[in-house]
Structure 1
Amino acid sequence: MAKLDDPGLFGRQWAAAYDSPGNPDPAPAVDFLAGLAGAGPVLELAIGSGRVALPLAARGIPVEGIEASPEMVELLRGKPGGDSVPVTVADMADVPVNGTYPLVYLVFNTLFNLTVTGRQEDCLHNVARVLAPGGRFVVEAFVPDEAKFDQEEREVQVRSVTEDAVTVRMHRYDRAAQTFVRQTITFTDGGVRLQPFGMRYQWPEQIDAMAAAAGLELEARYATWQRDEFGPESTDHISVYRKPS
């Protein structure tokens, strides 16, 4: 297995700093998802540290999760209410849970973390398997922008500079494969630390095609969790897929 194909890699590398300031406010996503959840239970793929799941559960909606990283699950367990959320430690593409759900969701571009060819398709087929008839699958993802890719490849992003360390970030895109590798490099007088990360990105219509192949129908698409209209200039999308009744 290539390093970037390991589903637990992200959590092992980033769990320690994952809940640092600067993450998106989960409140709009929680409001949106609560409106689709009904009485639950709902399933979050790549539940992480519970940034969305815990405030959703606090509204009385039963939430379950799948997470490949035990380090992320440990973060979740350390938060108020974290012990009451059932989490299966596994590759989210397999959706290895039983039962049916009125809502399955996946936020913050995490679908693209499945870098092995065919695994995104596997994920959608398995989501369709566990969705109740009429249930929804919600995906939050960025809209690929090749001009931004060009810019990121040309520049070295300086992440931090202190008297003890320097951290920089660089990108390399494979446009034919629709993948990228991002390398975060920290230099100290004790050595060099590499933190690689990769994605296999898709345009919205490509996700639509994967969903259709899994038997799901696009019900709605928005530019934000506040349901702003999606258009040609939108940089992100919230797509709602429905399993026919």
Structure 2
Amino acid sequence: MINQQHLWDDEAAKHYDTPGEGMFAPEVLAPTVEVLSELAAGGPAVEFAIGTGRVAIPLLEAGVPVSGIELSHAMIARLREKVGEDRIPVVQGDMSEASIGGNFTLAFLVFNTIANLLTQDEQVRCFQNAARHLGPGGRFVIELWVPQLRSLPPGHGGTVEVSEPGYLLVDTYDVLRQHVVSHHVRFGPDISEGREARIGRTPHRYIWPSELDLMARLAGFELESRWADWDRREFTADSRSHVSVYRLTAFPGG
């Protein structure tokens, strides 16, 4: 099994940020920050798997106090190049266990990152940890992709998800364990250059929306809202991702 700490190493952190493009594009970040700011309702927020601060920094700039939990030393170091501990406190550790206090009004976990926890037990503990960080009525927001098993051809164990100049993404599935490994192949746009391709792999445990809702109930949450994206479009059977908002209804310990 791939060690997540080793996966998000210095090399990954160095190339993680893509300012103004991809998941760092303004049209991606602006609605994310808008929704999270509204859900924080004037209170402090904690981000699980804060990474290099892609969402936390603009959320702080929007006036929301933000703290974080992050497993990777390298990702925290990259974050620290941009903002100090005094502005965004971060605890290094596993988001299913580590603590940075309590009584937050909002906890959030974006960009499919709960799937980095590779067992159902770890994912349930992540919900329980979110509950411990929140005050009564606090919200836990998760952004997650919907497993695309309908696109898996019979007898085949993988699908091509992205094919574009210089980049190929292939997902391979283990449907018994609900595991998928994303194979990221990067190469020169001109294949005649003869340069070797660089291959990176990221493992995930995919979660169906109904399973996610049950994990939430086990931790004392109830589903408040679910949208297809941060623009709050309707979630349908054809949606490829969702943003789910859970409200804490049973306070941990009583």
TM-score normalised by length of structure 2:
0.83
Aligned pair partner of 2:8 in 11, 14, 25: 11
Question: Cα offset for 1:227?
Answer: 1.5
Q: Specify the alignment match of 1:179 in structure 2.
A: 179
Q: Which has the higher mean CA deviation after the structures are superposed, 180-189 or 89-98? A: 180-189
Percent of residue pairs bearing the same amino acid type: 39
Give the direction of change, closer, same or farther, for the CA distance of 1:17–1:160 in structure 2 (3 Å limit).
farther
Q: Specify the alignment match of 2:61 in structure 1.
A: 58
Aligned pair partner of 1:48 in 40, 48, 51: 51
The residue type equivalent to 1:97 in the other structure is I
Question: Cα offset for 1:184?
Answer: 3.5
Q: Distance in 1 between matches of 2:187 and 2:63?
A: 46
Unaligned runs of 5+ in 2: 189-193
1:22 maps onto 2:3 in alignment: no
Q: Specify the alignment match of 2:91 in structure 1.
A: 88
Q: Specify the alignment match of 2:126 in structure 1.
A: 123
The residue type equivalent to 2:206 in the other structure is Y
Is the 8 Å Cα contact of residues 101 and 130 (structure 1) preserved in structure 2? yes
Q: Distance in 2 between matches of 1:15 and 1:236?
A: 25
Q: For this pair of structures, how many residues does the alignment match?
A: 237
The residue type equivalent to 1:128 in the other structure is A
Q: Segments of 4+ in structure 1 off by > 4 A? A: 80-83, 149-152, 154-161, 185-194
Q: Give SS of 2:57's match.
A: helix
Question: Cα offset for 1:41?
Answer: 1.4
Q: Specify the alignment match of 1:164 in structure 2.
A: none
Q: Specify the alignment match of 1:103 in structure 2.
A: 106
Is the 8 Å Cα contact of residues 109 and 142 (structure 2) preserved in structure 1? yes
Question: Cα offset for 1:236?
Answer: 1.1
Give the direction of change, closer, same or farther, for the CA distance of 1:9–1:116 in structure 2 (3 Å limit).
farther
Task: Write the deviation string for residues 48-99 of structure 1: whole angstroms up to 9, x where unpaired.
Answer: 1111110110122110011111111122122256762111111111142222
Is the 8 Å Cα contact of residues 40 and 63 (structure 1) preserved in structure 2? no
Q: Distance in 2 between matches of 1:208 and 1:99?
A: 23
The residue type equivalent to 1:173 in the other structure is Y
Is the 8 Å Cα contact of residues 226 and 242 (structure 2) preserved in structure 1? yes
Q: Distance in 2 between matches of 1:157 and 1:38?
A: 37
Q: Distance in 1 between matches of 2:146 and 2:85?
A: 32
Q: Give SS of 1:132's match.
A: strand
Q: Distance in 2 between matches of 1:71 and 1:120?
A: 23
Q: Distance in 2 between matches of 1:112 and 1:78?
A: 27
Question: Cα offset for 1:172?
Answer: 1.8
Q: Distance in 2 between matches of 1:48 and 1:59?
A: 19
Unaligned runs of 5+ in 1: 162-166
Q: Specify the alignment match of 1:206 in structure 2.
A: 211
Q: Distance in 2 between matches of 1:54 and 1:211?
A: 27
